[in-house]
Structure 1
Amino acid sequence: MQDSFDVVIVGGAVIGSAVACYLSGDPDFDGRVLVVERDPTYARASTALSAASIRTQFSNAINVAISQYGAKVIRDFAILCATRDDRPDLAFHEGGYLYLAATPEQERTLRENHETQRACGADVVLWSPDDLSRAFPHLTCDDIRLASYGRSGEGWFDNTGLMNGFRNKARAQGVTYVRDEVTGLTRAGDRIIHVTLASGRRLACGTVVNAAGPRAAQVAGMAGLHIPVEPRKRTVFLYDCAQSPEGTARVNQGRLPLMIDPSGVYCRPEGRYFMTQCPPEDDRAVGCDDFEPDYAEFEERIWPVLAARSESFEAIKVIRSWAGHYAYNTLDHNMIVGPHPEVPNMLFANGFSGHGLQQAPATGRAVAELIVHGTYRTLDLSPLGMTRILTGTPFLEKNVI
């Protein structure tokens, strides 16, 4: 069976659905769009397993601007993605991010990043140890040299709500979703002309969008292309504490932020509980189906750090744990977006390295602009394009957690 679509999107989680939503909502686009998703339950999608946070505290201006737009979309989501049957509220908890620096190098990085963030209009302040202690009296600050706190535009929200809102809006605008898997891409010279599915369907296409998350390199390989994206596992722990410090802050109506300890361990409130994670010591590629949590991380690495940072975290108990995947760009930890010079009708939206959820609105809008108008019309993401990948020239993001 052969069918024809103007755009075939490989992957229907938050990135693919954001592209589908913005594309189908563009008044200058009237083509047919198909989203191919291998697992519409999304049980193991990076979107569903994410910690669902957004921040403006990045080290380069493009990522700051991407998140500023993302925060606006999250705030206005009930209007932007309203359908006849639904007005999705993402319950944006604007708790902020709190970065702690304990070494001269960490302090220098926070100050350099702060200059970039403030130049972009981000609502971020630098605090001395005394400022930090006054704002969050539960913290032990003896080793801290400097703190960076986001007063607004940062926090956490409903991760699957963002994905489902984009998906439902895209469907309402005429996009077709199918449960299937892309198994082949047929090239004729410098173009993809057919997409083959596991079901046996063979689709003629005008444009292909690779939004396959941790499987992005596999999809690129079907076209004879390479991108440096691989699955990296992250284990998340939900814990309860006997004496919760939530409500003790002297800023933001008592609410605690997402705190990033100098060790790399982070934690944030999650309802009555707290959520925590740390970068693995052995951070290497894993199989796309490897979702076994690293249970030892909590006892061996996370709990000692949390207990030292706050007496409130001395008596804590894990309630639940799970593992998800970063679609990790090994070159520079930044997204890869836009067409491949060798195959211009294949567009990439990959390698978000843990930032895909918060960067989905800007990415969806950008890819849709490229398809419909042939250029970026709002935020220029060309520095995040394929050229740097092909030349091996990193566009580094220092703040990866």
Structure 2
Amino acid sequence: MSSKVVIVGGGVIGSSIAYFLRLADPTVGVTVIERDPTYARSSSALSAASIRQQFSTPLSIQMSLFGIEFLRTIGERLEINGTQPSIDLHEGGYLFLATRAGEATLRENHALQRSLGADISLLEQAALRARFPWLNTEDLAAGAYGESGEGWFDGYGLVQALRKKAQSLGAHYVADHVTALLRDGRRVTQVHTMSGDAYPCDVVVNAAGAWSRHVAQMVGIDLPVYARRRSIFNVTSPGRLDGCPLLIDPSGVYFRPEGHSFICGTSPSADNDPNDLPLDEVDHALFEDMIWPTLAHRVPQFEALRVQNCWSGYYEYNVLDQNAIIGHHPEVDNCLFANGFSGHGLQQGPATGRGISELILHGRYTSLDLSSLSFSRVLENRPIVEKNVV
């Protein structure tokens, strides 16, 4: 008798899990319950959709190395009846900038990234000025630039391609709200929805993104993941920035090209970052007070930029350490978690989907060991220190 897997959430994480499960074992019954099949409010569709290897922890680097391999081959991997999807992957690179205060950390991170095979160059101040002549380098000590394997893509296109491929492999998608997880001792036995349907399960996966905390509460588990709003601004500038990468200023403000314009943003300060703010509002004060002045300082041509559009999306923010929580909870044998990616879900989705499918099918990781991201570190208050949080 084949096992029944119910995945709560059909964004990039849930759809990646469904894809890898059905690809590896077509006898597994996979049902994905997605509350919003338009993905209009999903983090996958509303994010800046980028990928990098410039992290300070080995596992995050390795997950994104698999992520870029997956994205580069997405046409072949997710082909359906001869039709190959395209996500417009642009390997324009990340450029992390550092002042003297942050130079040692930048160099330390760079050495780790290179040791794991990431194609990152370390650029001194003069090299930064020569390569990016539009950049104000007067207060900079160095920068780290992704020569390949880093960039941006169509996040909504990735979600749709994964979803359609999973469906073509036999995964069943249901448009509904999960209202209850029925628990019997150490196991979840059924998933109930708003429409009144009940889905028996041998395994349930919480991949509900910014809404995952509420799903965890249905089985009596406290998941430290909250919806944190992030505003993104689309701006135009009369200046030309040849060879412009995705730039991370030492302040945390970022920008990257988007066609003939740019998108930019930053995270608010820790003391002004409440949970569950409405998505239909944008933090214009953050742009006026922080983003615009920073951009105008770093790129003098941005003094004349103009906002053309803006929107907000949610980070599914792990308040413990801003890293994902992946795997079992020790109190529930058949409930798996894939939550709290804190802005890294799109790039870590393929590695997560592969890993969760391995846990379900084999009871262990058989490719990349994700066990350091398990729930046990949350229960034991052992945060992972990631120095390159954006």
Shorter-chain TM-score category? over 0.9
1:37 offset after TM fit, Å? 0.5
String of CA shifts for 1:142-180, please: whole Å, max 9, x gaps.
100111111110000110111111100100011100110
String of CA shifts for 1:252-298, please: whole Å, max 9, x gaps.
xxx21101111111111000000100111244332274441111222
Aligned partner of 1:344 in structure 2 is: 333
Aligned partner of 1:19 in structure 2 is: 17
Contact 1:233 1:325 in 2 (8 A): yes
Instruction: Rate the CA distance shift 1:56–1:11 in 2: closer, same or farther, 3 A.
Output: same
Residue 273 of structure 2, aligned match among 264, 284, 290:
284
> What code does the residue aligned with 1:339 have?
H
Give the superposed CA RMSD: 1.3
SS in 1 for 2:199: strand
Contact 1:5 1:204 in 2 (8 A): no
1:39 and 2:31 are equivalent in the alignment: no
> What code does the residue aligned with 1:314 have?
E
Residue 324 of structure 1, aligned match among 293, 313, 324:
313
Aligned partner of 2:170 in structure 1 is: 174
1:85 offset after TM fit, Å? 5.8
Distance (whole Å) between structure 2 residues aligned to residue 163 and residue 300 of structure 1: 34
Distance (whole Å) between structure 2 residues aligned to residue 123 and residue 203 of structure 1: 45
Residue 112 of structure 2, aligned match among 112, 116, 121:
116
Instruction: Rate the CA distance shift 1:20–1:289 in 2: closer, same or farther, 3 A.
Output: farther
String of CA shifts for 1:320-347, please: whole Å, max 9, x gaps.
0001110001111110001111102000
SS in 1 for 2:143: strand
1:137 and 2:126 are equivalent in the alignment: no
Percent sequence identity is: 49
Contact 2:229 2:276 in 1 (8 A): no
Residue 234 of structure 2, aligned match among 234, 238, 242:
238
SS in 2 for 1:83: coil
Residue 7 of structure 2, aligned match among 6, 9, 14:
9
String of CA shifts for 1:93-132, please: whole Å, max 9, x gaps.
000000111132x111111111210110111111110000
What is the TM-score of this pair, normalised by structure 1? 0.95
Q: State how 1:145-160 maps to structure 2 within 5 Å.
A: 145-160=141-156
1:244 offset after TM fit, Å? 2.5
Aligned partner of 1:186 in structure 2 is: 182
SS in 1 for 2:202: strand
Aligned partner of 2:54 in structure 1 is: 57
Aligned residues: 388
> What code does the residue aligned with 1:84 have?
N
SS in 1 for 2:90: coil
What is the TM-score of this pair, normalised by structure 2? 0.97
> What code does the residue aligned with 1:209 have?
V
Residue 78 of structure 2, aligned match among 62, 72, 81:
81
Contact 1:214 1:288 in 2 (8 A): no
Instruction: Rate the CA distance shift 1:138–1:288 in 2: closer, same or farther, 3 A.
Output: closer
SS in 2 for 1:275: strand
1:391 and 2:380 are equivalent in the alignment: yes
Aligned partner of 2:94 in structure 1 is: 97
SS in 2 for 1:47: helix
Aligned partner of 1:250 in structure 2 is: none
1:195 offset after TM fit, Å? 0.9
Instruction: Show structure 2 runs of 5+ residues with no match.
Output: none
Aligned partner of 1:360 in structure 2 is: 349
Instruction: Rate the CA distance shift 1:358–1:317 in 2: closer, same or farther, 3 A.
Output: same
Contact 1:5 1:34 in 2 (8 A): no
Instruction: Rate the CA distance shift 1:393–1:291 in 2: closer, same or farther, 3 A.
Output: farther
Contact 2:229 2:277 in 1 (8 A): no
